[in-house]
A and B are shown apart, each in its own frame.
Chain A
Amino acid sequence: MILEDFFLRALVAGIGVALISGPLGCFVVWRRMAYFGDTLAHSALLGVALGLLLGFNLTVGIIGTAIVIALTVTLFQHQKRIASDTLLGIMAHSSLAISLVVLGLLQGYRVDLLSYLFGDVLAVNYEDIYWIYGGGVVALSLLAYIWKDLLALTLHEELARAEGINVTLIQTLFMITVAIVIAIAMKVVGVLLITSLLIIPAAAARRFAKTPEQMAVIASLIGSLSIIIGLFGSLEWDTPSGPSIVVAEVILFLSSLIFGGLILSQTSKARGK
């Protein structure tokens, strides 16, 4: 089979996103931030709308909006009047609705809404790939830099603080990392499916890992594998690429329950002997 250029670009872009969303997704899972990730992803569309309205680079618009929303949520989480999931829901859906209204008002733009909502990885160009790998390297470096401190404060925030970790700084850097990854992942699976790219490979990796670092690496591998399976599946059966990738992830996750279960029960038997 001879692969077309567009398909190779899609593979390269998808794997680039999977490599960074693996380790980042682990923290989203460990810190129970799935809904938070969803909210940021929804707000990414607001970044697109603002970018079109004000005429700046869309990726920059998305990163900027996501960071602003992330910091706003963090700020509001300290108040006790509204529960944090309610707050996140309000933020997620208001930013989604506002951005759809703004996009509707923008006469003269032919916005392909579906590609923003569900991704259009088969249409990525070289500029997108530069953004994905450039952003990916920045995000991965940031995450590597804060890794040990973030891990400590994920385990016990007060302990981290007591032992001299600058909790606010680390949390802010983490938010920025999430914002960058959402902006680049949007090109592959779209705003409605980004969270799946973060949490499903991480959840699937859990059963095969003994340490946080192993889980991060395995999540990257499972994510990359889902990209490959999903894209070939989408080519074979002519299905939409973003959802096909997510379906591949789900299949891998379910297999991890079965095979991971087998491996675990064998090791525990071995230990029992």
Chain B
Amino acid sequence: MTSSIAKPASESDLNCGCGHDHLAPSPSGEPLIHAENLTIKFGGKTAIHDVSLTVHKNEIVTLIGPNGAGKSTLLRALLKAIKPTDGEIWRKHGLVIGYVPQKLNIDPIMPMTVERFLSIPDKRPLSEREAALKDVGAHHTLKQAVQSLSGGEFQRVLLARAILRKPDLLVLDEPVQGVDFQGQTELYKLISRLKEQSGFGILMVSHDLHIVMAETDRVVCINGHVCCSGAPTQVSDSPEYLALFGGQTKPGLAVYHHLHDHSHECNHDHSSTMSDEA
């Protein structure tokens, strides 16, 4: 739905309600999608409350949060799969979205080669399909059945299919799930390189506490509401983040760079939320 709300200002920084500025890097591109004060309830339970979020061209926004924090709910609302109870979603006119869902199981009863899969839903010239596969480093899978691919290969194929749509916005739901640690790092590098090449905006979901990629421009930490947001370094230092994830972070695995120390006080509580991630 196109809503009546105004086009967001391009350096819209997120406000977590803490009453001070988180100094997110100001994004250079035009805004692609903007959610304002979204609230989503399922049968009386609040999944997300008063969440605002903007993704611009040429930036990577990563949503993190514990399981059941409402990340998938927020994503599904942005993708128009569910209607928000309250709040507005603005999309750039004619926004093309490329989507990599969290899980896509293709039943063995459906014959499907990678070559054919890349033309879903719309037919793409073979040369383009081959180029996209090369781009994601999965050219050898072209003739294979999708059911025979490894987790990492299939994620690359899903990425190739999404970029073939020439999207303005790439939406990735847990893109490294089921991929080994080495593969995860490679996939994140790949995603970042694709963004540099094409300049699309990327909205990514992760519950991954350790490898929120270094290439992320902004991290938005969600636990029913926006706890905090900003550059990865800032978020990882914030007390809200540490309260949520502190105990679980294994030193040495995080790729955050803790370049400076600062702290902030938030006077809201973080216990009021619940979950209904479908």
Assuming the contacts A163-B97, A163-B99, asked whether A158 and B81 have C-beta atoms less than 8 A apart, the reply is: yes
Q: Which of B99, B113, B122 contacts A148 (CB 8 A)?
A: B122
One of A55-63, A112-120, A210-218 at the interface:
A210-218
* A93 at the B interface (CB under 8 A): no
Confirm or deny: A159 has a beta carbon within 8 angstroms of a beta carbon on chain B: yes
List, in ascending order, chain B residues with CB within 8 A of A32's CB: 107
Report the minimum CB–CB distance from A213 to chain B (whole Å): 8
Are the CB atoms of A158 and B106 closer together than 8 Å? no
B63-79 toward A: CB 8 Å interface, digit per residue (1/0)? Answer: 00000000000001001
Whether B243 is near chain A, meaning CB under 8 Å from some CB there, is: no
Complex Cα–Cα for A159 and B171 (A): 10
Chain A contacts for B116, CB-based, 8 A: 210-213
Q: Given A148-B120, A211-B116, A163–B109 Cβ distance below 8 Å?
A: no
Cβ-defined contact, B145 with A210, below 8 A: yes
Chain A residues with CB under 8 Å of B259's CB are none
Instruction: Name the interface residues of A147-195: CB closer than 8 Å to any CB of B.
Output: 148-149, 151-152, 154-156, 158-165
B109 and A29 contacting across the interface, CB-CB below 8 Å: yes
Asked whether any CB of chain B lies closer than 8 Å to the CB of A131, the reply is no
Q: Write the A22-38 contact mask toward B (1 if CB under 8 angstroms, else 0).
A: 00000001101000000
CB of B110 closer than 8 Å to a CB of A: yes
Q: Is the interface of A mostly helix, strand, loop or mixed?
A: helix
Q: Give Cα A29 to B123, complex, Å.
A: 23
Q: Tell whether, in the assembled complex, residue B99 and residue A159 are in contact, meaning their CB atoms are under 8 Å apart.
A: yes
Chain A hits for B122, CB < 8 A:
148
Please tell me if B247 contacts chain A, counting CB pairs below 8 Å. no
Taking a contact as CB atoms closer than 8 A, the residue among A151, A152, A162 that contacts B80 in the complex is: A162
CB-based contact A212/B110 at 8 Å = yes
Question: Would you call B121 an interface residue if the criterion is a C-beta within 8 Å of the partner chain's C-beta atoms?
Answer: yes
Does B137 have its Cβ within 8 Å of any Cβ on chain A?
A: no
Give a binary string over B137-155; 1 marks a CB under 8 Å from any A CB, 0 the rest.
Answer: 0000000010000000000
Instruction: Identify B101's interface contact among A149, A158, A165, A206, CB under 8 A.
Output: A158
A165 to B81, CA, bound (A): 11
Contact partner of A206 among B76, B111, B123, CB < 8 A?
A: B111
Q: Is the CB of B111 within 8 A of A214?
A: yes
Q: What's the Cα separation between A188 and B194 when bound, in Å?
A: 55
What mask results when residues 117 to 134 of chain B are scored 1 for a CB within 8 Å of chain A, else 0?
000111100000000000
B112 within 8 A of A: yes
In the complex, which residue of chain B has the Cβ closest to the Cβ of A26?
B110
Kindly state whether residue A52 has any CB partner on chain B within 8 Å.
no
List residues 55-114 of chain B with CB under 8 A from any CB of chain A.
76, 79-81, 97-99, 101, 104, 106-107, 109-113
- Return A165 CB to nearest CB of chain B, in Å: 7
The docked-state distance in angstroms from the alpha carbon of A214 to that of B145 is 14
Quick one: CB contact mask for A195-214 with B, threshold 8 Å, 1 for yes? 00000000100100111111
Count chain A residues whose beta carbon lies closer than 8 angstroms to a beta carbon of B.
Answer: 27
- Inter-chain CA distance A206–B145, complex, in Å, is 13
A210 CA to B144 CA in the complex, in Å?
9
A162 and B81: CB pair below 8 A?
yes
Q: For residue B154, give the distance in angstroms from its CB to the closest CB of chain A.
A: 13
Are B107 and A30 in touch, CB under 8 angstroms?
A: yes
> Least Cβ distance of B142 to chain A in Å?
12
**Are B111's CB and A212's CB within 8 A?**
yes
In the bound assembly, the distance between CA atoms of A70 and B98 in angstroms comes to: 32
Enumerate chain B residues within 8 angstroms of A203, measured Cβ to Cβ. Answer: 109
Contact of A210 among B81, B106, B111 (CB under 8 A): B111
The residues of B that contact A165 with a CB separation of less than 8 Å are 121
If A148-B120, A148-B121, A151-B120 touch, whether A162 touches B111 (CB-CB below 8 Å) is: no
Set of chain A residues within 8 Å of B97, measured between Cβ atoms: 162-164
Q: Answer whether residue B22 sits at the interface, using C-beta atoms and an 8 A cutoff.
A: no
Say yes or no for B165: interface residue by CB 8 A criterion: yes
What B residues does A156 contact at CB under 8 A? 101, 104
Q: Which residues of A contact B109 (CB under 8 A)?
A: 29-30, 203, 206
- From B104, B112, B171, A162 is in contact (CB under 8 Å) with B171
- Which of the residues A154, A163, A211 comes within 8 Å of B111, measured between beta carbons? A211
Subset of 27 A-B contacts with CB under 8 Å: A30-B107, A30-B110, A32-B107, A148-B120, A148-B122, A148-B123, A158-B76, A158-B79, A158-B101, A159-B99, A160-B121, A161-B79, A161-B80, A162-B79, A163-B97, A163-B98, A163-B121, A203-B109, A206-B109, A206-B111, A210-B113, A210-B145, A211-B116, A212-B111, A212-B112, A213-B116, A215-B110
Supply 10 further A-B pairs (C-beta < 8 A) apart from A148-B121, A212-B112.
A155-B110, A156-B104, A162-B99, A163-B99, A164-B97, A203-B109, A206-B111, A210-B111, A212-B111, A214-B111
